[in-house]
Chains A and B, each alone.
Chain A
């Protein structure tokens, strides 16, 4: 177990492309950090630099008390779970799990004991003598997990480990991985572009965009106080509503009309509100025209136009809704304001 520290880490690929711009953050011992962001934002690059599979162009990386920039992947005391599992096709499950231990000169008896223990923990006992080609996707995923946990490393690295599984299995494995990490207390970095995984698994989320960190925070902070319109629209399904608004005389207006909240400054701003912080209110300040009602069982999503902009509202299943015009109110303390130019939170 160990803390991890990245200081001014940069990655420029040989072709000159800067995939990660100077990035710094620390991960506490035992913490589960999720790196999230759209495709191509540099998540894998960052993770692979930590693993030692990619050279670090600039900056310093330490795992535990050791700067590991120039340490071989095998000597960094890390274990990695890959997206397509990367199992050794010619080895049985038992050999796959034990391979890393064998190369670390662990006595045979000890390997056997540890492999059995890991197999038990992951319900892999019946499959120990099979080859990976004889396993289902979920079982292969478990073997990949087994290969990581059996080594008892200082740091787990996950690169979208669940993205090849179907939705149901993904939910199940998500919980299993999280529980396993809790139990073992191993510091973890988990890469995903699935914001549900990020929200549910993370102690802290790091949102990346185009090789830069947009925000670091707990899932609640990221969700409720996004640092930018990028984070606001990336996290949450459906994302936060973003409306063009104006600041005048210490108050926020959308489309003229009634002031919505008090705020300092003047000029154009972007107003953000989560769909669930909007409610029907006959006396409310805004007109919402509902176009589509999306029925989701536990709740409904109402999509339509508000002040001639796309808008979504979330109502519980008890609230009846039909296409047409309604008046709505916004929960005042849930309003977020962003700079109209830079998108940064005000």
Chain B
């Protein structure tokens, strides 16, 4: 195969430069800065800082509140990831039955994806509004006095529901196209080999969706950890005090509300390590093991 190449050495570098500069300025520089300031204790009023070594990390490890938030984040991430994936898969399987052949539906369903994300938090607020939110009323009709922003567990439930709801369309579209890319003949062969629809799903369809599923797993964990910031912020607005929050939101609260830049930076570094671990997990394990062709 003939490979296209550059005749001069500097041209490719020049072409890459804008992208590299953007990455450096907006990603590496702040990251390096965060690592650096995690070793300092900042004066809350901005008058200089003192080197404190790993004290900020020790404080984190010793902080009961931080551990509690970490535990909540773990539960939250697990629930959001599980329900977003499971619900989307269920919907995709149902839609796939209708869609085989009729392509135009898919485009229509795709719109949900475009509409949902920006308004998710606000719609959540409206749905769970204390006096007239329909979901609050639904909960009340079942004897559950739902108090968003007041009761820790109620707020947590709302956070999970809104986060799941916002993420389902994305997962749905990926699952649906994953389902539709399974060769028709393979499903038909399974139809002849196995009379049970459930058996066919778990033994043939589901394993063939695994590449899509693992990709979405990583995407959803990342989403639940980081991108739910906006939802958490909208739902607990003003009163983080007794309300549940995730690790990312805690970084923001400590850094910008509490002006503890050093501690907040240490928390960011912990999260960076987490992302790094996830990425390595994805590349090493998933990419290698789940592809069939």
Q: Which residues of A contact B (CB under 8 A)?
A: 51-53, 72-75, 78-80, 82-90, 99-100, 103, 131, 133, 147
Query: Can you list, as one digit per residue, whether each of B192-220 has a CB less than 8 Å from chain A (1) or not (0)?
Result: 11111001000110011010000000000
Majority SS at the chain A contact face: loop
Question: Do A82 and B195 contact each other (CB < 8 Å), given the known contacts A89-B208, A90-B292?
Answer: no
Complex CA gap A75/B195 in Å reads 7
Cβ–Cβ contact B193 & A99, under 8 A? yes
Count of chain B residues with a beta carbon within 8 Å of a chain A beta carbon:
20
Cβ–Cβ contact A74 & B192, under 8 A? yes
Per a CB cutoff under 8 Å, which of B189, B195, B293 touches A88?
B189
Which residues of A have CB within 8 Å of B191?
Answer: 52-53, 72-74
Complex CA gap A51/B208 in Å reads 24
Nearest chain-A residue to B190 (Cβ)? Answer: A88
Which residues of A have CB within 8 Å of B1?
Answer: none
Cβ–Cβ contact A86 & B194, under 8 A? no
Per a CB cutoff under 8 Å, which of B185, B194, B210 touches A74?
B194
Per a CB cutoff under 8 Å, which of A73, A84, A103, A147 touches B185?
A84
A124 nearest CB across to chain B (Å): 17
Cβ–Cβ contact B292 & A131, under 8 A? yes
Which residues of A have CB within 8 Å of B4?
Answer: none
Majority SS at the chain B contact face: helix
What's the A-B contact tally at a CB cutoff of 8 Å? Answer: 65
Cβ–Cβ contact A74 & B188, under 8 A? no
Per a CB cutoff under 8 Å, which of B185, B186, B193 touches A100?
B193
Does B241 interact with chain A (Cβ within 8 Å)?
A: no
Q: Which of B185, B195, B207, B210 counts the most chain A CB atoms within 10 A?
A: B185
Cβ–Cβ contact A88 & B204, under 8 A? yes
Cβ–Cβ contact B194 & A103, under 8 A? yes
Cβ–Cβ contact B188 & A100, under 8 A? no
Complex CA gap A90/B190 in Å reads 13
Cβ–Cβ contact B185 & A82, under 8 A? yes
Complex CA gap A78/B189 in Å reads 11
Complex CA gap A90/B183 in Å reads 13
Question: Do A51 and B183 contact each other (CB < 8 Å), given the known contacts A89-B293, A90-B208?
Answer: no
The 18 sampled A-B contact pairs (Cβ below 8 Å) are: A53-B191, A72-B195, A73-B188, A73-B192, A74-B191, A74-B193, A75-B195, A78-B192, A82-B188, A84-B183, A84-B185, A85-B185, A86-B185, A86-B186, A87-B186, A103-B195, A131-B292, A133-B293
B54 nearest CB across to chain A (Å): 47
Cβ–Cβ contact B185 & A51, under 8 A? no
Question: Do A103 and B207 contact each other (CB < 8 Å), given the known contacts A51-B192, A74-B194?
Answer: no
Which 3 A/B pairs are nearest by Cβ-Cβ distance? A74-B195, A86-B185, A100-B193
Question: Do A89 and B189 contact each other (CB < 8 Å), given the known contacts A74-B194, A84-B183, A103-B194?
Answer: no
Nearest chain-A residue to B192 (Cβ)? Answer: A73
B292 nearest CB across to chain A (Å): 4
Which residues of B have CB within 8 Å of A79?
Answer: 192
Which residues of B have CB within 8 Å of A103?
Answer: 193-196, 199
Complex CA gap A90/B207 in Å reads 7
Question: Do A89 and B292 contact each other (CB < 8 Å), given the known contacts A80-B189, A83-B185?
Answer: yes
Cβ–Cβ contact B195 & A86, under 8 A? no
Nearest chain-B residue to A86 (Cβ)? Answer: B185
Given contacts A73-B192, A83-B185, A99-B194, 5 further A-B contacts (CB under 8 A): A73-B191, A74-B195, A84-B185, A89-B186, A90-B210
Cβ–Cβ contact A133 & B183, under 8 A? no
A221 nearest CB across to chain B (Å): 33
Q: Which of B193, B194, B196 counts the most chain A CB atoms within 10 A?
A: B193
Which residues of B have CB within 8 Å of A100?
Answer: 192-194
Complex CA gap A90/B186 in Å reads 11
Which residues of B have CB within 8 Å of A80?
Answer: 188-189, 192
Complex CA gap A335/B207 in Å reads 60
Complex CA gap A79/B188 in Å reads 11
Nearest chain-B residue to A133 (Cβ)? Answer: B293
Nearest chain-A residue to B196 (Cβ)? Answer: A103
Query: Can you list, as one digit per residue, whether each of B14-31 has a CB less than 8 Å from chain A (1) or not (0)?
Result: 000000000000000000
A285 nearest CB across to chain B (Å): 54
Complex CA gap A88/B292 in Å reads 10
Query: Can you list, as one digit per residue, whether each of B274-293 has a CB less than 8 Å from chain A (1) or not (0)?
Result: 00000000000000000011
Nearest chain-A residue to B182 (Cβ)? Answer: A89
Which residues of A have CB within 8 Å of B183?
Answer: 84, 86
Nearest chain-B residue to A159 (Cβ)? Answer: B185
B16 nearest CB across to chain A (Å): 35
Complex CA gap A133/B189 in Å reads 17
Which residues of B have CB within 8 Å of A86?
Answer: 183, 185-186, 188-189
A50 nearest CB across to chain B (Å): 12
Complex CA gap A83/B183 in Å reads 12
B194 nearest CB across to chain A (Å): 4
Query: Can you list, as one digit per residue, whether each of B245-267 has a CB less than 8 Å from chain A (1) or not (0)?
Result: 00000000000000000000000
Complex CA gap A88/B206 in Å reads 12
Nearest chain-A residue to B187 (Cβ)? Answer: A86
Nearest chain-A residue to B199 (Cβ)? Answer: A103
Cβ–Cβ contact B189 & A82, under 8 A? yes
B112 nearest CB across to chain A (Å): 27
A80 nearest CB across to chain B (Å): 6
A29 nearest CB across to chain B (Å): 21
Q: Which of A51, A82, A131 counts the most chain B CB atoms within 10 A?
A: A82
Which residues of B have CB within 8 Å of A84?
Answer: 183, 185
